[in-house]
């Protein structure tokens, strides 16, 4: 059992990272603007699943291996950067009226799934992995079972990011109803694409 004050301190430390716009928010913006608030659910679920993947890797010690091996870390970083850049290109193309039908026809079904996009965007993000290697250990009590503590912190992390994305869903959904014109959707989609591109480049050069 993790003390409540430890969970609160962890959430206070991790919130600035959650509040920083990232791939999940970019995907959420595009999905909610185009398809409505219900499309936020797979994005949130994919993001949360990614957090538990990192938690599982941290428990198994695989994340530590990646973070302490320069070659493995570079491979993960470049894979994540390539995925984000490719997703940015696909998102930019989908901003045009005819692009979605064409892109969905030529891309595998999973590639167009917002759940898979959010999951991979989180799993392939070294920053997310580093949370479970550099931040969580500061709150771990050595005399208690490590697995239970990591899962408790991961659950708190997942709940916080889910609430954060739900708040953005309400804000974006309201704006979408007021400004739900094709031009507005195109602008929002291209902003999301540029955000994904910037994240991919930053991940590649960091």
Tell me, what's the pLDDT at 20?
74
Q: What is the pLDDT of residues 126-165, one digit of tens each?
A: 778 778 877 887 788 877 888 889 999 999 999 999 999 9
Q: State the sign of the Cα–Cα–Cα–Cα dihedral 87, 92, 95, 97.
A: negative
Q: What is the pLDDT of residue 128?
A: 81
**Spatial CA neighbour of 14 closest among 159, 196, 175, 141:** 159
DSSP state of 38: G
Running DSSP on this structure, what letter comes out for residue 131? I
Q: Which position has the token pair 């430390």? A: 13
Residue 206's SS3 state is coil
Query: Hey, is 205 helix, strand or coil?
Result: helix
Instruction: Identify the segments of the chain with pLDDT beneath 70.
Output: 62-67, 73, 95-112, 175-182, 184-185, 206
pLDDT (0 to 100) of residue 89: 85
**Cα atoms in the Cβ-side hemisphere of radius 13 Å centred on 69:** 10
Q: What is the pLDDT of residue 100?
A: 42
| pLDDT for position 107 | 38
Specify whether the CB–CB gap between 8 and 27 falls below 8 A: no
CB atoms within 10 A of CB 188: 21
Residue 41 CB neighbours (<10 A): 15
Q: Are the C-beta atoms of residues 203 and 126 closer than 8 Å to each other?
A: yes
Kindly give, in sequence order, each residue whose CB lies less than 8 Å from that of residue 188, ignoring residues fewer than 6 positions away: 29, 30, 33
CA distance 58 to 81: 21
Within 8 A by CB and 6+ apart from 8, the residues are none
Domain ranges of the chain: 4-205
Say how far apart CA 105 and CA 156 lie, in whole Å.
39
Burial 85-100 (b: 16+ CB within 10 A, else e): bebbebbbebbeeeeb
Q: Which residues contact 156 (CB under 8 A, 6 or more apart)?
A: 7, 10, 11
User: What is the number of residues in the chain?
Assistant: 206
What pLDDT score does 200 carry? 79
């Amino acid at each position: 059992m993790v003390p409540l004050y430890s969970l609160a301190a962890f959430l206070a430390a991790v919130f600035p990272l959650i509040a920083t716009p990232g791939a999940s928010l970019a995907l959420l913006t595009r999905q909610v603007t185009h398809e409505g608030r219900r499309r936020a659910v797979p994005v949130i679920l994919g993001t949360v699943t990614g957090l538990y993947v990192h938690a599982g890797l941290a428990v198994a010690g695989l994340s530590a291996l990646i973070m302490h091996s320069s070659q493995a870390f570079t491979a993960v970083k470049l894979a994540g950067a390539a995925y984000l850049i490719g997703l940015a290109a696909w998102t930019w193309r989908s901003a045009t009226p005819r692009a979605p039908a064409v892109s969905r026809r030529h891309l595998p079904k999973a590639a167009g799934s917002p759940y898979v996009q959010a999951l991979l965007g989180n799993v392939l993000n070294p920053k997310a992995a580093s949370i479970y290697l550099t931040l969580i250990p500061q709150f771990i009590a050595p005399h208690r079972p490590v697995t239970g503590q990591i899962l408790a912190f991961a659950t708190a992390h997942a709940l916080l990011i889910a609430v954060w994305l739900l708040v953005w869903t309400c804000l974006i959904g309201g704006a979408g109803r007021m400004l739900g014109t094709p031009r507005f959707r195109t602008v929002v989609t291209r902003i999301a694409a540029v955000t994904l591109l910037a994240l991919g480049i930053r991940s590649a050069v960091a």
